[in-house]
Amino acid sequence: MYDTLMQMGRWFGYRQQYEDLCRVWMPKDAASWYAHIAEATEELQMELKRMSQANATPEQFGLAVRSHPSALMVTAKNKMGSGTKHVMIGLSNNFVETARLSASKEVIEDNILARDRFLAKLNCNGFGQETATKVSSGLLLQKVPCEFVDTFLREFSNHPESVLTATKPIRDYIAKRHDNEMNKWDVLIVSLQKGAEAEVLNCDGWSIIPVNRSVGVDALASGVLAIGGSKARLASRGIERSGLSKTQIASAESRYLKEKNLAPDALPNFPDRIYRAERERPLFILFNIRIKIDDLSIEDASIVPDVPVVGWGISFPVSGMPDERVEYILNTTKLREMFGEDDTDEDMSNDEI
């Protein structure tokens, strides 16, 4: 939980001039959790600054804390009110991606068929590869009708542990905005640059080079392709620039440098959220993923998919409609499996608990 990890952060690094005495050892999972929380906290601080500049209240502004795709909750379930049975996520100005996929052969094949139908439909309606713009991340199509994306999401088999990519609540959110904000989409077909040993997929006129991603071995044994392991990240940094003009990109980066009090010629690692804020159309990203595991034993090699699996991501722009939370319903048993038992305050006595 975010709040528990942030409390633990007080154990080190907060007393100036004692940094040379601090040494911290932690698992890679925990290091990635702290990195995620740092990014979520920074985003919330930026939102608070914008709210202050607009002289608005939290009720008027609609603040949100970025959720973690698999492993972390913002706080304990018993402190979240309705969170005991529902997870409420704001999709406005948010990015979701399938960081956890099914390792089932049947599901993988079904999703490949959904991909093939999606690409064929694009091709038959004037959105073939020859009309796409080559960008650093792959092939970009612009102003694609919403129905194409919605049909793919309807046919895609999401893994139940990939909570934030459950397709029904996402499709409901899109449907409410279909006639205005989300009538047209940018579509990015992710493809690597062609190399001497590149594996090329040929799908209904499309030539695509899959990306390579590693997965967690422990999760794979239970039938889950946990992309990126504990980082739970599929997309590469900067992918949400796709579809933006040079002017929009420059505006986003200039605003970020100003927010961080950096020199105009500084070259930091710009977070994708700054590009998302510039988006006029949502961005649908289609991935073909070659699964890689470096430390897998020979006897376990058979459980690694031998074909590229299909995943996706969506960058949702800021919505002009009232900021509502999308409801992801989880039963109590599933919540307990994913996040453990309710938290209790450590400073309370047994009698008080």
> pLDDT value at position 148?
96
Residue 21: φ, ψ to 5° = -95, -10
Of 142, 149, 198, nearest in space to 177 by CA: 149
pLDDT digits (tens, 9 = 90+) for 42-84: 777 777 777 777 777 766 655 555 555 555 555 555 554 443 4
Residue 188: φ, ψ to 5° = -110, 120
Indicate if the pLDDT at residue 223 is higher than 60: yes
Model pTM above 0.85:
no
pLDDT digits (tens, 9 = 90+) for 165-182: 889 889 998 998 988 889
d(CA 111, CA 309): 8
What b/e string do you get for 169-191 counting C-beta neighbours within 10 Å, with b at 16 or more?
Answer: bbbebbeebeeebbeebbbbbbb
pLDDT digits (tens, 9 = 90+) for 114-154: 999 999 999 999 999 999 999 989 999 999 999 999 999 99
Pairing status of strand 184-190 against strand 283-292 = parallel
Strand runs labelled E in the chain: 86-89, 94-97, 100-102, 133-135, 138-145, 184-190, 201-203, 206-208, 211-214, 224-226, 283-292, 309-316, 326-329
Residue pair 303/221 in contact by the 8 Å Cβ criterion: yes
Indicate if the pLDDT at residue 291 is higher than 50: yes
Q: What is the DSSP letter of 215?
A: B
Residue 240: φ, ψ to 5° = -80, 0
Of 185, 225, 217, nearest in space to 317 by CA: 185
Percent of the chain with pLDDT over 90: 35
- Domain ranges for the chain: 1-81, 86-244+279-329
d(CA 105, CA 347): 49
